[in-house]
Chains A and B, each alone.
Chain A
Amino acid sequence: MSALLQVENVTMRFGGLVALNNVSFSVARGGVLAIIGPNGAGKSTLFNVITGVYRPTSGRVTFDGAEITGRPSYQVVQRGIARTFQSSRLFSDLSVLDNVIIGMHTRTKTGVLGALFAPAASRREMAACVDRAEALLKLGSGDLFEQRYRLAGTLAQADRRRLEIARALASQPKLLLLDEPSVGMDETETDALIADIVRLRATDPNLSVILIEHDMRVVEAFPGHVMCIDYGSRIAEGDFAAVRADPHVQEAYLGKAAAHA
């Protein structure tokens, strides 16, 4: 089976700073990749390169058979990649429900002329969006559905993360990029998050997920394919056990002395 996402020799430079150094990996259809690494290692930058926020200095990104290197974000989303942000970027002054509906932007098509001259069709499309959004909100852990008419900016931290995921799912992506989804969650909430992701994959086996995580409990739940990045370079890749035992990984997290202790 050909890979859904192929990242080849991607390097990202910001002036003199090398944020990503010759990173290569691939994700299969229906696969889960967990990316770990110390803070500032370049993990979010990787997401930004894949989703078109940054154009890589060199290298290629291929998705679903087509090259998407440097394509603008909104086109990348249209092709089926959705993402969440490390610090939730919700639309704070809009309702929870509206946030999810906006996530459906690429799956709807009413334009200006349609909205003005075919209002019935526009309303119908919007009503369908509302139904789907409400269904999505009901699916996840937490009580986002009950809070659907709250301003997104007033949500508790765990709910913000959940809303980000719901919004990302609204576009019916083939590849879901989650940037530290468990930030700010306690144990119970993290378990619920893991359950959510497991259920997602059960409902849609073709959905691929890339996960940036610091919480090893989450990584442990998806131990099949793990990659460690430090200083922009890939320093280890394999299953969870192998990566964890890798001395380079230990050095990156714990320092030289501890690694060789």
Chain B
Amino acid sequence: MTMSVSSPTPGKGAAGLFTVVSQLCGAAYLYLLLKAAEAWQVVALLALLGLGFYLLEKRASISDYALDSFARVPVLAVATAAIIVLAFPFVVGSNTYILHLLIVAQLYSVLALALNFQLGSANIPNFATGASYGIGAYVSALLAINFGLSFWLTLPIAALAATLFGFIIGIPSMRARDTYLALVTIAFGVVVQQLLNNFTWTGGPNGLVGIPAPSLFGHSFADPLFVFGWKLPSQANFYYLAAALVVVAIVTAHRLHGSRIGLAWNALRADEIAAKAQGINVAWFKVLAFAVDAFLAAFAGTIYAFYVSYISPDNFTFLVSVTIMTMVIVGGMDNIFGVIAGAFLLTILPEKLRAFEDYRLLVFGVVIIGFLMIRPQGLFPQRMRRYGGKP
């Protein structure tokens, strides 16, 4: 991270224009990427992305200008983002495949943001994040199937269950470090997956089917959505639900990062002993990171379960945890925007490179290694906290 040279603060008009235009461009890019069918189109778009990055690297002032613009007109920025998110399904139309991709990308964004508390902020390895995701999904599914509880009721219960699990994994974290901790989390992940696989009441290896669709004010999420005379496919219901969850996750991440808690996590990441010497109860904050991660992951798991209406232990394997971890590493550790970008990229690209479906995992692995070798801080590295001052 270089020390930023004072760049001109944009005027309100320029900032407003930049904010709106840049977000629209981003939305357009996303749309094109989602619609791209031929391999050459995907490659071209990726090249464009690469070019964009190259420019950003060369001129750090661009990203400073961008962030200053957004900070200048926060209301406009949020409003633009809201309009884009709300309007996207209308633009997409009845292309349910794209909607599906967006839903999955959003859920993964939430999972990645959840993991970011541990991995990005506190540098705690957690290979069991897939397990928290799975526990959320299973608890809510079981409650709905066996006790007929509504989706909205199962949400908090599943979250609580997963958080409890998060606390349990967190306990070994108090004493174990780095590699040993990683092994503990892997062990937890395997145990949970095996148990889900073996218990009959969790449906065993075949999982659970027939999870009923949620409904809100009488409108079932399995039915198409009618808005202002427009008919959106039923996926749109889940799209908006997932988007709402993403907003919750972003707000959570933002508030925690900028608070005493976020600073404490960063401190223990940098130097545990020094952190303790500042009065930080390192053990508690580590457990907290696990708990917060599990809480959010459970929400994502619940939505996923009710969306696809069928879950099995295969959805929550070690590989899923690795995927989420990749999103955080590639996207940018401890950078909210980066993590979301990583999640979207790593959800959409593998789908687009269907031709290379068989090589998907191989490419994944190579990409991770490549990033860690060349750009370990990720696409969007963490930003220094600014408290209204520019040097």
A contact set with B: CB distance below 8 Å: 51, 53, 72-74, 77-78, 82-83, 85, 89-95, 97-98, 101-103, 105-106, 108-112, 114-116, 119, 122-123, 125-127, 130, 146-151, 154, 167, 171
Contact = CB atoms under 8 A, between A and B. Distances in A.
B384 A149 contact: yes
A150 B256 contact: no
A10 to B, nearest CB: 19
Interface in B358-391: 382, 384-387, 389-391
20 contacts: A53-B273, A53-B276, A73-B277, A74-B279, A74-B281, A77-B276, A89-B274, A91-B275, A102-B266, A102-B275, A102-B278, A105-B267, A110-B261, A112-B292, A114-B259, A116-B252, A122-B255, A126-B387, A130-B387, A149-B389
Nearest to B281: A74
Contacts of B280: 74, 102, 105
Contacts of B288: 112
B1 interface: yes
A74 B276 contact: yes
Given A83-B277, A91-B266, A149-B386, A126 B391 contact: no
A21 B387 CA distance: 48
Given A77-B278, A167-B278, A95 B384 contact: yes
B253 to A, nearest CB: 10
B261 A112 contact: yes
A9 to B, nearest CB: 25
Given A112-B288, A146-B391, A89 B277 contact: yes
B270 interface: yes
Contacts of A97: 385, 387
B245 interface: no
Interface in B234-279: 252, 255-256, 258-264, 266-267, 270-271, 273-279
B391 A148 contact: yes
A105 B358 CA distance: 51
* Most interface-central of B262, B273, B382 (chain A CB within 10 A): B273
Contacts, number: 125
A116 B256 contact: yes
A112 B384 contact: no
Interface residues of B, number: 36
A102 B263 contact: yes
A108 B262 CA distance: 13
Given A125-B260, A148-B391, A77 B277 contact: yes
B83 interface: no
A151 B1 contact: yes
Interface of B: 1, 3, 252, 255-256, 258-264, 266-267, 270-271, 273-282, 288, 292, 382, 384-387, 389-391
Given A106-B278, A149-B391, 13 more contacts: A53-B273, A53-B276, A73-B276, A74-B276, A74-B280, A94-B384, A105-B264, A112-B256, A116-B252, A127-B387, A148-B391, A150-B3, A151-B3
B175 to A, nearest CB: 13
Nearest to B390: A149
A105 B260 CA distance: 7
B106 to A, nearest CB: 21
* Most interface-central of B255, B261, B390 (chain A CB within 10 A): B255
A92 B259 contact: no
A119 B106 CA distance: 25
Contacts of A125: 260
Contact of A111 (B1, B261, B262, B279): B261
B271 A89 contact: yes
A102 B264 contact: yes
A108 B260 contact: yes
A72 B276 contact: yes
B266 A94 contact: yes
Give the 8 A-B residue pairs with the shortest CB-CB distance, closest first: A106-B279, A77-B279, A89-B274, A115-B259, A73-B276, A91-B270, A130-B387, A110-B260
A77 B277 CA distance: 7
A89 B167 CA distance: 29
Nearest to A72: B276
